[in-house]
Homo-oligomer: A and B are copies of this chain.
Amino acid sequence: MSPKPLDYESLNENVKKVAYAVRGELYLRASELQKEGKKIIFTNVGNPHALGQKPLTFPRQVVALCQAPFLLDDPNVGLIFPADAIARAKHYLSMTSGGLGAYSDSRGLPGIRKEVADFIGRRDGYPSDPELIFLTDGASKGVMQILNTIIRNGNDGILVPVPQYPLYSAAISLYGGSLVPYFLEEEANWGIDFNSIRQSVAAARSKGITVRAMVIINPGNPTGQCLSEANIRELLKFCFHENLVLLADEVYQQNVYQDERPFISARKVEIIAKILFDMGPPISKEVQLISFHTVSKGYWGECGQRGGYFEMTNLPPKTVDEIYKVASISLSPNVPGQIFLGLMVNPLKPGDISYLKFATESKAILESLRKRAHIMTDGFNSCRNVVCNFTEGAMYSFPQIRLPLKAIEAAKKAGKAPDVFYCLKLLEATGISTVPGSGFGQKEGVFHLRTTILPAEEEMPAIMASFKKFNDAFMEQYEDYRGYSRM
């Protein structure tokens, strides 16, 4: 009998080629163990609320009121909602016709796109056009749509950093393009190595691949690096000369902990569009750039709401129309997520009734993340055969694990990649659910794992102690005078 259309052998080959490690073997095993009653510490996804981070109160009040607009007429509403939340809910409801229950324009509500443009203007000092800002169900959906727009066939190449957040590799497989890897330099705090990029591009071209786009994640996931202005300028020049569109994943632009390095302007992430405009023509007028942002990260961490946007720079109107048309197929992004985005880009100001509470809550989250970044980096660096760059930004730690040859052989015997083997043992021993470095890409023969820095601050010391105990026992067990994996 011939296979049926949805039997495995009949599926779209691109679907089968997709690899997605963040919810891969380790995650599935962790879910099983959890079902069996084991306490699991999920550090596989940057999902702060799942690990106990509380939502900011004010935005939740506003969205709750938008969901229940009949409360605005309730004489008792003032007993449980502050006046500025009520005013802001009215503000957003006035931007919709039909409230949260109506599809919006497929690009998002015009009023909120205007708030995003104003935010970008204030942030960068250059005006931004709401017509070039599209709201999305989280940044992921925007990235996927843009890659689907760019990729024509398997000869179209997209430069992706290694290690990278696997959204990129997965979406490139799904849409049938070619991933062209470029390495970040672990020894240079995960900075960009332009020689490596030039080599990658040359190698891809010699295989007949047209390199069309470059992805940059800043601050980095999984690497946690914050790129310097000089690095970004060089990147933009490179894109200009090589005729590449730059996809700038800046979802962690609020997550920065690099006060360690005072000569680099403290607590500030460089914004790629701003540097582009600073550079002036021809580069500022020529390089095509798409930047992505989200409510899932920062001190918001509102991952479940799925609010995001992308901003397009130097794209011709006909292309913007095509992107609009494709967005229309699924009608509109979810409207509550759009309101969260509005609240994020247009936050409370000093003097507002709820400002103090809002500022206190957000500062506490950011300060605690900073502390956790330190505890984690220091913890990893205190372990045998583990070396780890400091998390300058984002929410991750990406330590290198130098595996004894004996462990690598044991992994091979078990039919596992060495880092998967290590992470599985870690999971079974401690309940800490990480993602093996191979899920993000790493140099041949070098091994890492990725954790988020998100477990609650008070649990952090115990988690790191439990990690250390496991690691040091593992290193003891597999100790091998012949040597270790490469660095």
Q: Which residues of A contact B (CB under 8 A)?
A: 2, 4-8, 10-13, 15-16, 18, 20, 22-23, 45, 47-53, 55, 57, 60-61, 63-65, 67-68, 70-71, 74, 76-77, 79-80, 96-104, 106, 137-138, 140-141, 144, 148-152, 167, 170-171, 174, 212-213, 243-245, 286, 288, 290, 296, 301-306, 315-316, 318-319, 322, 325-326, 328-337
A45→B330 CA distance, assembly (Å): 12
Whether A71 lies near B67 (C-beta < 8 A) is no
Asked if A16 contacts B322 (CB within 8 A), the reply is yes
Given A76-B76, A98-B50, A334 contacting B137 (CB threshold 8 A)? yes
Contact of A151 among B12, B47, B150, B306 (CB under 8 A): B12
B329 & A15 in contact (Cβ 8 Å cutoff): no
- A71–B65 contact, CB under 8 A? no
Return chain B residues, CB-CB under 8 Å to A45: 103, 331
A282 to chain B, nearest CB (A): 11
Question: In the complex the two chains form, is B49's CB within 8 Å of A174's CB?
Answer: no
Could you tell me the distance between the alpha carbons of A138 and B49 in the complex, rounded to whole angstroms? Answer: 24
B11 and A149 contacting across the interface, CB-CB below 8 Å = yes
Partner of A80, one of B51, B76, B244: B76
Q: Whole-angstrom distance between the alpha carbons of A108 and B140 in the complex?
A: 17
Q: A152's contact among B13, B48, B334, by CB below 8 Å, is which?
A: B13
Q: Report A67 CB to chain B, min CB distance, Å.
A: 4
Given contacts A4-B245, A6-B245, A71-B80, 16 further A-B contacts (CB under 8 A): A5-B150, A5-B288, A6-B315, A8-B318, A10-B212, A11-B319, A48-B98, A60-B67, A77-B80, A100-B302, A104-B304, A170-B329, A174-B326, A303-B332, A334-B334, A334-B336
Given the contacts A5-B150, A67-B67, A106 and B23 also touching, CB distance less than 8 Å = yes
Q: Report chain B residues within 8 Å CB of A97.
A: 50
